Amino acid sequence: MALLEVQGLRAGYGPVPVLHGVDLAIDEGSNAVLLGLNGAGKSTTLMTLAGLLPATGGTIHYDGQPLTGTPRARVRAGIVLVPEGRHVFPALTVKQNLRLGAWTIRRDTRRVRSNLQEVYQIFPRLEERADQTAGTLSGGEQQMLAIGRGMMSSPRLLLIDEASLGLSPKLTEQVFAAVKLINERGTTVLMVEQNAGVLAQADTAFVMQQGRVTITGTGSQTLEDDVVRAAYFGT
Amino acid sequence: MGAFLALGLFQGAVYGLLAVGIVLVYKAKRVFNFAQGEFGGVAAFTAYAIVVGTGLPYWAGVLGGLAAAVATGLIVERAIVRPLESSSRTIMLVALVGVALFTIAIIVLVGQPIPRVMPPLVDGGGVNILGAGILPQQLILMAVLAVLAAAMAWFFKTDLGLAVLASSQDTRAAQVVGISPIAVSRLVWGMAALLGGIAGLLYAPVGIFTPGFMTLTMLVPAFAAAVLGGMTSLPGAFIGGLAIGVVQNLGIYYLGQQLKVPGAAELGVFALLMLVLLIRPQGLLGGAN
């Protein structure tokens, strides 16, 4: 059974519909990618899954149960969003940002401490900058912090919105490698990307166009798809 | 002159206490809370009604007064602040001025616009400090201010305090980590109202008090204290309050009594405010936060 099963999901902003029936199925442990161009509805999908936008139709099942509730309830259930544009707390230190990532499990100090060690292992740069305010970090470091903060509550499903946005190809590669590592350590990942390069490491891929998922397959199949090649590689 | 200095310090302690509440709300919500004084008004009048009206013991009056202040804070949060959350800060500011005036009107209606004398927490005559008769009540006030300023500074190092700061910096990101914006809003207004209530309870027994006494005499100097301290610094608000109190009274002494300048207290305060802001536009202890 899939960890996350989305059927016919509809959502939008006020009277403007953006999602016109999105279908997704993501197995536990998989490294999934949702690929699409600007305005396809990728971020809207993630925000609806995280509870930041209400669904206007369709169903979401998580771990076999219908998914409803506030953003906080979903974080507790293990669904954590790493939002587009990083959204770190600029005037707090790196360490304080990470501490707040563990907000929902803050009373379990042992787990908070071991999660912090794990984040520092994956992103050693964050440990070097632990006492620096997040606003003074470079774009790549802020992205690492946003992902690290997402990992602090031991999520089962990490939703990462356009981690490569505004990063150099080299940094993008580093961030993708870190996400791959996080996935290999047991967290199910759904990455939203415009950068089709990420398909190489994905075991499941969905391509979105105009509020619908139009292509579903494995990462390598999708990478060979003519439509995808034309839209993302111009070949 | 020593007497003016001492009086200034103790008056400044009340400004500081109100300013700490103003800074708390500003830090967390970027809102200028013009209702801060009236949380103290509600507390003082409720405590008076309990202690003088029903003859219950003093601690019951204190508890009742603080409970009334916190309840007022939570009602203001739910009925005024939250519905206006996404409107401009100017609208919010005017609405909070409205809350202060409305609260004063209620107090006038229920309690009549007559001056009252609240018995002090501790009886006894004045203590002579630098030639000024300082009431035990004022000494307590000073101690409470110091303890509260320290407690607030500590609060912002805890997870809960960090969550309040985080919400003010990026609401979306705070939601993403599971912090409920509504819970934070309630917490901040409840705490601000508690601080205001404490200020009212400690200040009312220092002299006679009438409806609106906190807003009319205390609020503007308290705002000056908050700005002087940097608007986001709790120790800054504390120091700013004391500085305003001292300068007001030294102004009365030097400009008023010796040079016969009218409005000497206000003149002193504004001269200080302008001087500090010219040299340090971010306030004494203001920073990025």
Interface check for A99 against chain B (CB to CB < 8 A): the answer is yes
Quick one: CA dihedral B111, B116, B120, B123, positive or negative? negative
* Chain B from 180 to 239: CB within 8 A of any A CB: 180
Contacts of A142 (CB under 8 A, 6+ apart): A86, A88, A134
pLDDT at residue B288, rounded to an integer:
44
Facing A72 at nearest CB: one of B178, B288, B289:
B178
Count of residues in chain A: 235
pLDDT at residue A235, rounded to an integer:
67
Determine, for residues A87 and B180 on separate chains, whether the beta-carbon distance falls below 8 Å. no
- The 10s digit of each residue's pLDDT in B150-190 is 898 899 899 999 999 999 889 899 999 999 999 999 999 99
| Residues of chain B below pLDDT 50 | 288-289
The CA distance from B215 to B213, in Å, is: 6
Determine, for residues B176 and A50 on separate chains, whether the beta-carbon distance falls below 8 Å. yes
Determine, for residues B173 and A87 on separate chains, whether the beta-carbon distance falls below 8 Å. yes
- The 10s digit of each residue's pLDDT in A169-195 is 999 999 999 999 999 999 999 999 988
Count of pairs with CB atoms under 8 A, one residue in A, one in B? 71
Determine, for residues A75 and B169 on separate chains, whether the beta-carbon distance falls below 8 Å. no
Question: CA of A225, closest CA in chain B: separation in Å?
Answer: 34
**Full set of structural domains in chain B with CATH:** 2-279 (1.10.3470)
pLDDT at residue B287, rounded to an integer:
66
From chain A, the residues in CB contact with B177 under 8 A are: 75, 80, 100-101, 103-104, 149, 152-153
Q: By CA distance, what is A93's nearest residue in B?
A: B162
Interface check for A215 against chain B (CB to CB < 8 A): the answer is no
Interface check for A84 against chain B (CB to CB < 8 A): the answer is no
Interface confidence (ipTM) of the complex: 0.88
| Residues of chain A below pLDDT 70 | 235
pLDDT at residue B289, rounded to an integer:
43
Q: By CA distance, what is A159's nearest residue in B?
A: B176
Interface check for A219 against chain B (CB to CB < 8 A): the answer is no
The class (CATH top level) of A29-52+70-233 is alpha beta
From chain B, the residues in CB contact with A153 under 8 A are: 177-178
The CA distance from A231 to A229, in Å, is: 6
Determine, for residues A103 and B180 on separate chains, whether the beta-carbon distance falls below 8 Å. no
Contacts of A216 (CB under 8 A, 6+ apart): A23, A204, A205, A206, A207
Asked if B218 and B40 count as a contact pair (C-beta separation under 8 A), the reply is yes
Tokens representing B269?
Answer: 């305060």
Interface check for A100 against chain B (CB to CB < 8 A): the answer is yes
pLDDT at residue B5, rounded to an integer:
84
Query: Where along chain A do its domains lie?
Result: 29-52+70-233
